[in-house]
Chain A
Amino acid sequence: MFSSILQTLPQVLIDGLALGAIYAVVALGYTMVYGILELINFAHGEIFMTGAFVETAVLFIFQGAGWLTDMPAWLSYVLIILIAMLVTGALGVGIERVAYRPLRKAPKLILLISAFGVSFVLQDVIRFIAELKTGNYIISTPQLFDQRYQLPLSSISSWFTDASVKANTLFIFAIAIVLMIGLDIFVNRTKWGGAMRAVAQDRETASLMSINVNKVIVLTFFIGSALGGSTGVLFAQQYGTIDPYIGFILGLKAFTAAVLGGIGNIRGAMFGGIVLGVLEMFASSNLGILTGGNFGAEYKDVFAFMILIIVLIFKPEGIFGKAIKEKV
């Protein structure tokens, strides 16, 4: 049993890290908005989904114009990510303006219900547009990279079987790392990043420092949503098929990742995403072996949400939660 788990471990790690990188970047959107408004923006999963559809739409346009063959694939990839970030960022700002700002003084539950409403609206609008344009709401997206590299691990040690890594997976790593480092630098080293942390800690006092709180909230929604949208692109390229409902489960998982790392904590969300992705991939390939065939890969979601429940019971502030004692 142990040796068969070990044999597939390299492949599990590669796939788990790719999935985890996606969770991590989506989790950032949840955690940033929560940090500022104490709102769990449940529409964030749908922003991610919208990003995936924007990717497909732009790819079809590029294909139609014949640009895909003219441009190197990596350039198309980067361009599409930038476009998807702009569109979803603007979408996030619009959602804040329409669905959250008028309710800012209302009880948090009402905001939460508003967020669910936005989710359903986005799902159905995207479904409507997709069916109108293609006749189907489940869409296969053109792949920019189809190379696959073999890693001959069995020649290093007989413990392992060979693993393979898609060129796309490498792209996910690269982009996720750039986005996470970029965000970390922005939040911790720049003036507006500092304003974001100040507003998260004490909104009223931040306004006394002549910080325009609304501007900071808009900025937070833009960045968080753009990150979510960019992950939609990564997801569509990695898994090939998208539908308007992919944001729901993935959003819940990314939310789990944010809670795992300590909601409101940016580095925690990155960590939580990676851990959750690897654990889930591990569960999906080994649950069958570990339980003698009683539970298969289909229980991986159960496994992920069990982690959420366990964290909420035993360490609700998360692994990197801010249990700092503050003097009054």
Chain B
Amino acid sequence: MSLVELNNVQAFYGGIEALKGINLEVKAGEIVTLIGSNGAGKSTTLKSICGQVQTKGEIWFDGQKITSLEPHVIAQSGIAHVPEGRRIFPRLTVKENLEMGAFSVKSKKLIKERIEKSFVYFPRLKERYHQTGGTMSGGEQQMLAIARGLMMNPKILLLDEPSMGLAPVLVDQIFEIIQELNSTGMTILLVEQNAYQALQIAHRGYVIQTGEIILQDDAKVLLTNNQVREAYLA
């Protein structure tokens, strides 16, 4: 069953059409990656799902139509979006950032448990627990952003360029964590410019170009596709 489904979704910034009617589907348990060059509409696709841009068309999540719902309502229904550029709260501590991620969670005990759980994946956050987010390194901030997204125990994790600006060692580490999360059952929609690594861990992939999906297939097939190789893997 598909967890997320986009039917002919158009997105607009003012009068400019950034998505020209795209169809996309993520099934429960999958890693799906959306690759494409700068400005192709990758981030806009994620923002459309989260209700952050004006859209036309239908967006379904978990059997419910979420088109034109408010962003906080969409988030509450179980979609965690880890935005591009991490966007952690710079003057909140690591602890407070994580607590914000669990804003819709009532039980303090549950929040504590989830923070403990995130230390398993991200031990660095434990060391930095009372430090403000803005003073951490880029890699640490990315880990915090992912951990913050997981705090609501979402049904799907939307990751926007998690490898951006990170050293290669850290990129490997982030991709390993994404795979590990997926192996515990987390559904992931991954937007990446780093197409090669994204396709290696993904089950399926979509290629987006100037607001249109031009290719979709199993990730392994896309890795060997000539068009993809020339444009994104060169």
Name A residues whose Cβ lies closer than 8 Å to a Cβ of B.
191, 194-195, 197-198, 201-202, 204-213, 322, 324-328
Contacts and interface: CB of A to CB of B under 8 A. Distances in A.
B49 to A, nearest CB: 11
Nearest to B75: A210
Nearest to B134: A326
Given A210-B75, A210-B76, A194 B92 contact: yes
Contact of A324 (B80, B134, B148): B134
Contact of B89 (A205, A210, A322, A328): A205
Contacts of A325: 134
B201 to A, nearest CB: 23
A208 B134 contact: no
Given A191-B99, A198-B100, A212-B72, A327 B89 contact: no
Which of A191, A197, A210 has most chain B Cβ within 10 Å? Answer: A210
Contacts of A207: 52, 70-72, 75
Given A207-B71, A208-B75, A327-B136, A202 B100 contact: no
B79 to A, nearest CB: 9
Contact of B100 (A195, A204, A322, A328): A195
A198 B102 CA distance: 13
Interface of B: 50, 52, 70-73, 75-76, 80-81, 83, 85, 87, 89-92, 96, 99-101, 103-104, 132, 134-138, 141, 148, 152
Contacts of B96: 194, 197
Nearest to B85: A328
Contacts of A328: 85
A327 B90 CA distance: 9
Contacts of A204: 52, 71, 83, 87
Given A198-B92, A201-B89, A210 B104 contact: yes
B138 A327 contact: yes
Contact of B83 (A195, A205, A324): A205
Contacts of A212: 70, 72
Shortest Cβ-Cβ A-B pairs, 7 listed: A210-B75, A207-B71, A326-B134, A210-B76, A205-B87, A210-B104, A326-B90
25 contacts: A194-B92, A194-B100, A202-B89, A204-B52, A204-B83, A206-B89, A206-B100, A207-B52, A207-B70, A207-B72, A208-B50, A208-B81, A209-B72, A209-B103, A209-B152, A210-B72, A210-B73, A210-B103, A213-B71, A213-B72, A322-B91, A324-B91, A326-B90, A327-B135, A327-B141
Contact of B91 (A197, A206, A208, A210): A197
B92 A208 contact: no
A197 B89 contact: yes
A201 B90 contact: yes
A210 B89 CA distance: 15
A38 to B, nearest CB: 15
A39 B90 CA distance: 21
Contacts of A208: 50, 71, 75, 80-81, 83
Given A209-B75, A325-B134, 7 more contacts: A201-B91, A205-B87, A207-B71, A208-B71, A213-B71, A213-B72, A328-B85
A210 B152 contact: yes
Contacts of A322: 91
Nearest to B111: A191
A197 B103 contact: no
B166 to A, nearest CB: 12
A191 to B, nearest CB: 7
A202 B80 CA distance: 16
Nearest to A197: B92
Contacts of A206: 89, 100
A309 B96 CA distance: 36
Contacts of B141: 327
Contacts of B80: 208
A211 B100 contact: yes
Nearest to B80: A208
Contacts of A197: 89, 91-92, 96
Nearest to B138: A327
A35 to B, nearest CB: 11
A94 B172 CA distance: 52
Which of A205, A213, A324, A326 has most chain B Cβ within 10 Å? Answer: A205
A327 B99 CA distance: 21
Nearest to A194: B96
Contacts of B132: 324
B92 A324 contact: no
B91 A195 contact: no
Nearest to A216: B72
Contacts of B70: 207, 212
A253 B152 CA distance: 44
Nearest to A206: B100
Given A195-B100, A201-B91, A324-B90, A209 B134 contact: no
A214 to B, nearest CB: 8
A325 B135 CA distance: 8
